[in-house]
């Protein structure tokens, strides 16, 4: 796989504040990299350095082999960028604005026309083409920003909080759009919405206080969760049997811990945590069958990203 974005020992200081602290990573073709982190973690600052808007205090950024400081224009030609808040020229209409971007991106004549039509259709802007961007709703403004970023079919797409402030339908639309483009490009997007990582990203990097604290696929990150491979079991049984059932469950060789979620007169619900995060669901279901328990629900947890996120980002 070809490395499209290569970041080495990137640092950014604002006076005495270290906004980005020695971050290194690489992104290869086809990856959708999610940048996760609490507000003020340094996500935007990192993206501004990748896109050449901010000069790093130290470290290097290479986009498709082009150093952003040594050959900024070649690097910038390969990047499509949606800055945070999707700034656009408010007095221009969507059509005028996109035409301006297309010209700056070197598109001309028929080629430009075709490309504009294609993108306008792709992000559904037909209905607002002649409206000043100022007067557009947030969702449409964001789409104009996205259209602007993908107009020149960039190899690397950098999106700073692309779904921030949108309603659930709009969020869904933007995510679909992003997923559709995944194969052809490298996409780096920042977010503090964890579900988004699952919905669109093939890999996630967690940043806290300017430092890279985790890097892996969403599932890998989830496997760090306390809840990873935990099993929730609900069964119909009289309440007086509860102590016995609890004891049996805890006696299973791989079960480390039991938490009572519910003990009502006819329904018992427990959450069981494995030793060393090993799979325990088979063991539990086999035991339940042998004892002829009336199992209402047996649920395997794949881990909670938000819990991992909280643990990681508050520990640093």
Contacting residues toward Mg ion, per CB under 5 A: 43-44, 84
Region 1-40 residues binding ligand ADP, contact defined as CB under 6 A: 14, 17, 19, 37, 39-40
Phi, psi values for residue 305, rounded to 5°: -60, -35
Q: Dump the DSSP string for 146-168.
A: HHHHHTT--SEEEEESTTTT--H
What secondary structure, in 3-state letters, does 200-211 show? HCCEEEEEECCE
Alpha-carbon 25 to chain mean position? 16
The binder of 77, among ligand ADP, Mg ion, other proteins, none, by C-beta within 5 to 8 A per type, is other proteins
Of 10 and 147, nearer to ligand ADP (C-beta) is 10
Compute the distance between CA of residue 243 and CA of residue 100 in angstroms, rounded to an integer: 72
How many angstroms separate the Cα of 184 from the Cα of each of 105, 178, 233, 249?
A: 19, 11, 43, 49
> What are the φ/ψ torsions at residue 19 (nearest 5 degrees)?
-80, -35
Q: Give the nearer residue to other proteins in terms of CB position, either 17 or 89.
A: 89
Which one among 20, 33, 64, 79 touches other proteins, defined by CB under 8 A?
A: 79
41 binds, among ligand ADP, other proteins, Mg ion, none (CB under 5 to 8 A by kind): ligand ADP
- Smallest separation, CB 58 to other proteins (Å): 16
3-state secondary structure (DSSP) of residue 199: helix
In the list other proteins, ligand ADP, Mg ion, none, the entry touching 143 (Cβ below 5 to 8 angstroms by class) is: none
Please identify which residue in 1, 16, 73, 290 interacts with other proteins, judged by CB under 8 A. 73
Residue 87 binding: pick among Mg ion, ligand ADP, other proteins, none (C-beta 5-8 Å cut-off by kind): other proteins
Closest separation between CB of residue 213 and ligand ADP, Å? 13
Q: How far apart are CA 238 and CA 261, in angstroms?
A: 16
Contact 262, 236 (CB under 8 A): no
**Residue 123 binds to other proteins (criterion: CB under 8 A):** no
Q: Which residue has the tokens 């759009």?
A: 177
Contacting positions for ligand ADP (CB under 6 A): 14, 17, 19, 37, 39-45
The residues that touch other proteins, with contacts defined as CB under 8 A, are: 48, 51-54, 73, 76-77, 79, 81, 83, 85, 87-92, 96, 100-101, 103-106, 132, 148
């Amino acid at each position: 796989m070809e490395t499209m974005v290569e970041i080495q020992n990137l640092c950014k200081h604002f006076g005495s504040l270290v906004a980005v602290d020695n971050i290194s990573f690489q992104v290869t073709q086809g990856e959708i990299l999610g940048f996760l982190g609490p507000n003020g973690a340094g996500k935007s600052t990192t993206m501004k350095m990748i896109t050449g808007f901010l000069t790093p205090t130290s470290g290097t950024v290479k986009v498709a082999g082009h150093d952003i400081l040594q050959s900024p224009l070649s690097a910038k030609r390969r990047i499509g960028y949606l800055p945070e808040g999707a700034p656009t020229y408010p007095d221009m209409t969507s059509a005028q604005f996109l035409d301006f971007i297309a010209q700056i991106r070197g598109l001309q004549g028929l080629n430009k026309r075709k490309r504009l039509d294609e993108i306008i259709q792709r992000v559904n802007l037909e209905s607002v083409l002649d409206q000043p961007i100022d007067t557009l709703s947030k969702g449409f403004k964001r789409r104009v920003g996205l259209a602007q970023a993908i107009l020149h079919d960039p190899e690397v797409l950098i999106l700073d909080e692309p779904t921030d402030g949108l309603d659930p339908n709009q969020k869904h639309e933007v995510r679909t759009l992003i997923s559709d483009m995944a194969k052809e490009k490298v996409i780096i997007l920042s977010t503090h919405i964890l579900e988004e990582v699952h919905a669109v990203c093939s890999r996630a990097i967690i940043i806290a206080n300017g430092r890279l604290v985790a890097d892996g696929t969403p599932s890998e990150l989830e496997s760090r969760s306390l809840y990873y491979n935990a099993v929730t079991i609900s069964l119909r049984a009289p309440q007086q049997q509860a102590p016995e059932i609890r004891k049996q469950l805890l006696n299973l060789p791989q079960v480390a811990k039991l938490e009572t979620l519910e003990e009502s007169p006819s329904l018992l619900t427990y959450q069981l945590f494995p030793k060393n995060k090993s799979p325990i669901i088979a063991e539990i279901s086999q035991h339940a069958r042998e004892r002829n328990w009336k199992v209402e629900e047996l649920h395997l947890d794949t881990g909670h990203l938000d819990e991992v996120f909280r643990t990681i980002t508050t520990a640093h």
